[in-house]
Amino acid sequence: MPKVTKKTLNCRGRLVDLTQPAVMGILNATPDSFFAGSRVTPNKTATTVAVEVAQQMLDDGATFLDIGGYSTRPGAAAVSPTEEADRVLPIIEAILANFPDALISIDTFRASVARQAVKSGASIVNDVAGGTLDPAMFETVAMLGVPYILMHMRGTPQTMQSLATYHNVVTEIIDELAIRLAELRSLGAKDIILDPGFGFAKTPTQNFELLDKLDAFQLFDEPILVGLSRKTTIWKTLNIRADEALNGTTVLNTAALLKGASILRVHDVREAVEAVKLTQQLKFFRA
Q: Which positions are annotated as active-site residues? A: 231, 265
- Give residues with Cβ within 8 angstroms of 145, minimum separation 6: 190
Collapsing DSSP to helix, strand or coil, 30 comes out as coil
CB atoms within 10 A of CB 90: 18
For 26, 94, 172, 264, 272, the CA distances from 227, given in Å and listed in that order, are 10, 25, 19, 6, 11
Q: Do residues 62 and 269 lie in contact, with contact meaning Cβ atoms separated by under 8 Å? A: yes
Give the residues across from 15 on adjacent strands.
Answer: 10
Q: Are strands 225-226 and 22-28 parallel, antiparallel or unpaired?
A: unpaired
| Four-residue CA torsion sign, 100, 102, 103, 109 | negative
